[in-house]
Amino acid sequence: MKTDIYYFSGSGNSLYIAQNLSKKMEHSKIISIPHIINKENNIKGEIIGIVCPIYFHNMPHIVRDFIKKIKEAKYLFMVYAGAGELGKGLKATKKLFVAQNIKLSSLFNIPMPDNSTRYGEIPEEKQKEMFNNADKKIEDIVKIVNLKEEHFDSNNTSLFKTYIHPGILCKFLYGNMKTMDKDFFTDENCKGCSICQKVCPVNNITMKDNKPVWNKNNRCQVCCACHDWCPKESIQHSSTKAGIKRYHNPNIAIKDIINSSANE
């Protein structure tokens, strides 16, 4: 059976997982969601996989829009590459598929390094440990998908975190995500290389006088690709913690992130 693995990725974690799943699954290919989101309305497939990060205890808005376009799949699986805190994410995901009348057969969570600066820097050793664990989990996922088994990872977030703090805050932030690009800016280190523009998956950055301008047109996914791939670490956000090294997946080449963007 053919497997189509659709992915959305800002700092490369989800792309890492999608690539490695595909290497281990026969007759499979990976497809960037930004490439097809405005081109296809009837997504059909034999086995369909979706790999994406989790944002504020929920899925990226572009992935939500993508799922609404799925019309048919014999087996559908989803993998979250969150930083370990899914909150209501699993419940929200199941609900969306029920509303779509599409059967979600399995749902997995692979904890990966956090690409926001919230929790500080992730030491290299810790990153390697996470990638090793991710590789093992990928093996397990391949077995489950090959056998077409049903499997649902359990929610790993405490009830307090899910519903009180940061749960309530996450709900608010998730609802306001698309306007968060108003809080990005560059500092004096910007060298005008336009990498930020090229890595933006949704074409939300324009270069003006050799400096990025965020378009503020409700398109931003807050994926942090611009923030995390800037070679000068010059992009700041009102939520960026000062002095923290930016994270992007060290196993992913920047060209693969650029090739995943809607510009391509």
Ligand X SMILES: Cc1cc2nc3c(=O)[nH]c(=O)nc-3n(C[C@H](O)[C@H](O)[C@H](O)COP(=O)(O)O)c2cc1C
Interface positions with ligand SF4 (CB under 6 A) = 10, 181, 186, 190-196, 200-202, 204-205, 212, 214, 220-226, 230, 232, 234-235
Q: Which of residues 61-100 bind ligand X (CB under 6 A)?
A: 81-85, 87
> Could you tell me the smallest distance in angstroms from the CB atom of residue 12 to ligand X?
5
**Cα gap 245→117, rounded to integer Å:** 8
Q: Is residue 89 a contact partner of residue 80, using CB atoms and an 8 Å limit?
A: yes
Q: How many CB atoms sit inside 10 A of residue 147's CB?
A: 10
Kind of pairing, strands 211-214 and 205-208? antiparallel
Which of the listed partners (ligand SF4, ligand X, none) does 194 bind, with a CB threshold of 5 to 8 Å by partner kind? Answer: ligand SF4
Can residue 55 be called a binding residue for ligand X (CB under 6 A)? yes
Residue 226 one-letter amino acid: C
The vertex-230 CA angle with 226 and 236, nearest 5°, equals: 70
Match 């504020």 to its residue by tokens.
56
Q: Which lies closer to ligand SF4 via its Cβ, residue 70 or residue 222? A: 222
> Residues touching ligand X: how many (CB under 6 A)?
26
> Could you tell me the smallest distance in angstroms from the CB atom of residue 44 to ligand X?
25
Q: Is residue 2 a contact partner of residue 43, using CB atoms and an 8 Å limit?
A: no
> Could you tell me the smallest distance in angstroms from the CB atom of residue 54 to ligand SF4?
15
Q: Which residues bind ligand X (CB under 6 A)?
A: 9-14, 53-57, 81-85, 87, 112, 114-116, 170, 222-224, 249
